[in-house]
Structure 1
Amino acid sequence: MPARPTLSDAPGFPDSIYTAALDLSLAAIVYYTPVIDAAGEVTDFAFAYLNPAAQQLLRLPARPATTFAQQFPQALSNGTFAFHRDAYLSGEPRELRTAHRADDQEFIIQLAAWRVADGLLVSFTALGNVASSAVEQALRQSEEQELAAYGEALRQRERLYRILDQAPAMICVFDGPEHVFQFVNPAYQALVGPRRLLGLPIAQAMPELHGQPIFGLLDRVYQTGETFYANEMLVQLDHQNEGRRALAELEKRYYNFIYQARRNHLGRIDGIVVFAYDVTPQVQARQLVQRQNDELEARVAERTRALEEARLRAEQQRQQLDQLFMQAPAAICVLDGPALVYQLVNPSYQQAFPGRPLLGRPLLEALPELHDSPIPGILAEVYATGEPYQAQELPLRAARVDGGPLEQMYWTFTYQARRDNEGRVDGVLVFAYDVTEQVAARQVVMANQQQTQALADELSAANARLTRINADLDTFVYTASHDLKAPITNIEGLLQALRQQLALPPAEADTEQVLGLMQDSVQRFQRTIKYLTDITQWQHVQDQPATPVPLAPLVEDVRLDLAPLLAVSGGQVMLDENSCDTIIFAEKNLRSLVYNLISNALKYRAPDRVPLVQVRCHTDAAGAAVLEVQDNGLGLTEAQRQRVFGMFQRLHRHVEGAGIGLFLVKQVVEKVGGRIEVESQPGAGSTFRAVLPQRLPSN
């Protein structure tokens, strides 16, 4: 039991003048201090002071060593203790009439109680002993019934409070206009943990609510009696009791709650009952769903716009592809099915047979003179096996016009099997060149090569040129047949699929996927054509004049061009500060050389380290500039090193490219009498070294 304070210890108790007045008072006055358990509940009252009138009536000393419940055990059942506790907790004056037995006599006691400072001041007066007359007996019986009813009401309230303690809702009861916490169930107490609530006005117990609408709502309910219903209302509390007051520092939670006015037996409002539920999770979930719906609607709108743009781009690219196909200098056609029906014929192919109808007709029906040639057998083999076939200057006898004479022709061509979406061969792609004139020219040269030595030399040079042209043509035809077959096949199949999709209702169509596949095929087609164009342009490029080219600005210019790749890889390009100031070389060609070597170093980087590319230049004993580009990338095996400068050599398949960059670099270097070599170890990087003669062109 806690130590009982004396009257002099009571904070805020009247000074000696008031003490003297109490001592002289004929009314009995007691000052109690509450006994509070660990849960914050008032369980008893300790006697702190009894004035003389109270001492005489109760037969107790001024400061008895006992408690209210010990002295008056019947008070727990007849409602007297509950009266004292309620008066203390509410802070409002309370009155009660009850019976008290002393010296075998029973007295009617009039009680008045009021909380003073941290204690309870109680005044009581004996109205007289209970008489035995019928009227007095009836009065006594009435008072006993009233007390019994009051006690029963208090017991019922206690039972109700015990039930509310177990309720899942957050429940509290406010008493009086200051909204003093009179009852708080565990769920409500959990809002603020161990913070004291009972016996305190809400403004004192929860000061962080200042600036929020709670106090105003409570006042309105108390004043008007109108019930208030809150739906998902934001209430911010200092749940962790960290002394936070600013709204920006308080956690946001949402509640459904009811403020219901409580009325006394006279019908007057004397408190408010609160029922609340924390609905924060469902509010946050709904807010999340709303945000996701908004984002989804935005994405759908964006996808719709992107789809329309993609459709327009695909249509433009299809038209460009049609133009490219129809304007290609090579003779191109598509033979469909085992009957090899002409499904597509470009103008260059049709020009070889002007006036002869080809489209929609089987090959041997359109060109019956080929029946006894090797062509039907070769096509049947390609269709059956799927293996491509290449021919160089194959002699054929055919008529260029219907009914015309058979002419001796020479064709260099590639037959490539076309496959459907399931990989089955369903046609043959033909890429051909009519080389009759070249063959005829070569035959003329060969027939006359025994004439004069000068003519022989001239014919030899022409033949060498023709040989190079044929070699380039071989590469072109092979590359075209290999790299163009899939895009063309895909585009044809995708066009058919697109027609089918466009015929479907919008809800069933899947045009976006078809358009995306068409886009990929077109891009592959364009890349292949670009690579072949680069090689063709190089073969015909004119010599560029050699000039002194500052090395540092050139490397910086290349580094800026490769900024996106450097950003993605996190790589660095460093120029040795002791490198040559200038290199005498064709500026455009030198830039191409440096760009290819640095970009390759970044593209073929090792996945487990940041790429570092070092550029150095020095002059060798012969006065040539030695340009080195060193990286820490994947490196090369000996077999790869032997093939690295070949045309269309792709040594690492996971990196996009055509395998022509280093081939062109080698051509650039060797054309001026230089050389290029590479040192490399797998996993240790590579060093490319270009030796460039340093001489200015003569006037």
Structure 2
Amino acid sequence: MQAPVAIGIYLGEQHVIQFANPRMCEIWGRSFQQVINTPLFKALPEVSGQGFEEILADVYHRGVPFTGDELPATLQRNGKLELAYFNILYDPLRNEQNEVYGVLQTAIEVTELVEARKKAEYNEETLKVALEAARMGTFLVDFVHQSLTTSKSYDQIFGYADGDFVWDQTRFWRHVLPEDRPELEAVYQRGLQEGTLDFETRIRWEDGSLHWVQVKGKISFNLKGNPMHLTGIVMDITEQRQAAERERQLAAEQAARLEAERQGKILHDLFMHAPALICILNGPTHTFTLVNPLYQQLFPGRQLLGVPLLEALPELTGQPIEGIINQVYETGETFVGKEVPVELKRDDTRQLVTTYFNFVYQAMRDKDENVSGILVFAFDVTEQLLARKQIEHNAESLRLALEAGSMGTWDLDLVRQTTVRTIQHDAIFGYERLLDHWDYESFMRHVLPQYKEEVARAFQKSYASGELNFETRIQTIDNHLRWIAVRGRTFYQDAQPIRMAGVVMDITSRKRVEEQLQQLTEELASSNEELLAANEEIRAGMEELSLANKQLRLINADLDNFIYTASHDLKAPILNIEGLMKLLVRNLPIESLENQTVTKIMSSIDNSVKRFQTTIEELANITKLQRESEEPVLIEFATVVRDVLLDLQTQVEEAEPHIETHFEACQPLRFSYKNLKSVCYNLISNAIKYRAPERPLTISITCYQEASYQVLEVEDNGLGMKEENIPKVFSMFKRLHTHVEGSGVGLYLVKRIVDNAGGKVEVESEEGVGTTFRVLLPMD
């Protein structure tokens, strides 16, 4: 079979014919041998002077394709000159240097279509003349007097033999079919505005018969533009309509036959040239009646055409594919197979090879709708299947690697501001599922305010450098703070950034370790300074402790030894001072005791001794924490907090705080009761001690689980502190609010207890707003 498209290739400025397919030779009326290697207009001299030389020269020299529809050409065919029409495409052919070296022509002859259309146009004009010569009736509508005057022919067209009645518009509309009235009324109203009427409609006579009429009319208006009269004609066009319908049906049938023949030819050519495996199996034995070249290439050296399926391919016997083919033939139901394995003997070795196919088995039916055969349309997808499985394996490996590294991937379209992301990406920002939309602004909404400017500069810099690399802090959708690292590359089009792609990593754990290391370093450095300050304070207050101070300076690097020494060796001197003070009071004369200055000095000394005893007691607690180990037990947080509030009853009654507790999500914890009570005591007492005098105190105590930790959160609306002071709160003897009594040991003790338990303490505070302590204790 021949392709329906004529194809020719012409080389050089002379358009030498290099190739012409059989259809092109048929159009030219020459054989291939007559035209090959001959300039086009020498091989076809009758075509010269018809404008094609200029078109081809323009395509060749400018390198611009040319498309023309229904182009006329006079050709020497069948022993005479014939006028034909073509749809033509001229495409320039270019070499590796992009230079035009020839022209590719594709053409389809449309002579029959053009002649058929011209014939239809001629018939339409003839019909128009015939209609104008047909019998017609006249009418006059008087809009002023609301009357309708008609001719006898008008009455006959509407089915009345005798016109012994008065016409009006109501009678006219009564004849119009109800379903046609809305559209006809719209046409009529538009005609009243435009001044002319021209429409066709259906009417029904009194005897029930259906007729077609055409109405034409002209409207006259008065000086105000109001319609006065409508004069026109009406014609019975029923026969013309019926004739036109018959002609349309005949034309449709003829076109359908021609189209069926054309489609059959195209379908056959398509099957033979399609990039798919196609065959037709006929009858219950599934005999090959059509085999395209690609299908035959599967079985080199084997005769397929005219041979039953299992005789041509005996290795299919017993395989599932045999049952599928029989099922389609018996039921007539289409079967679609995807990546179906079939064992075939593909080469001369006759070894069975597993091949995978995507295919469709479509039942073919005869004129009586009985199944007569099967159309097979298939693709060999073996290579694609193996490649996809390798890609899936690689993708799964990449996914596991990203999950293990707490990483998510992202791909940002800078033009449309859309992204493609993995679920791990959105999970880092606290989302349980992928959001429908995510762009640069979505990302920036999570960045903490103090980092936004730095992040924006990083993005701007990446547009020029092509590299994106920064670390920043974000707040997740569920209000958790995290550190993330972003790495990516920028892609360009016409030197403009159009796309960015990369990964985002959760580095919170790493940052916490770095912060803890930094904090420990700072604590170690500040401890030496604080120890020296403490030693100086003790030496200035008590000369008899100079020897102890010298000893403390020698061991100030070992904080635990200092605490142990201070908490034990200082008790006796303080007791001595307290005893001497009592002895002094007993031996002072009464007038001295009544002296206000003496009384004030004695009271100050007594208060100083009591404060020092409190400090020594707290230092002793630290040594006990380091040297003693209380057996852990299962503890309810609610019980511990209740006991602490009882111990703080006096302070609570004085401060009158509003205390909220939330222990619904709290589980029992195995821990030292004494240590946990000490932690709760210090946090709650601090919240009371450092309250803001200008507003009522509110304390919120919450317990919940986070990952593998049980979290105790104590939040207040007290004095708060500056951000730069937060790292100092756990330092020994460090007091950030000197106007309130305190030793500066309590929070140090909390930190040591939690650290020894493998937990951690987090602080968030804002000066003038309040403070939140989060104690994270391991649940195991």
TM-score (norm 2): 0.28
TM-score (norm 1): 0.31
Q: Which has the higher contact order (CA 8 A, sep 6+)?
A: 1
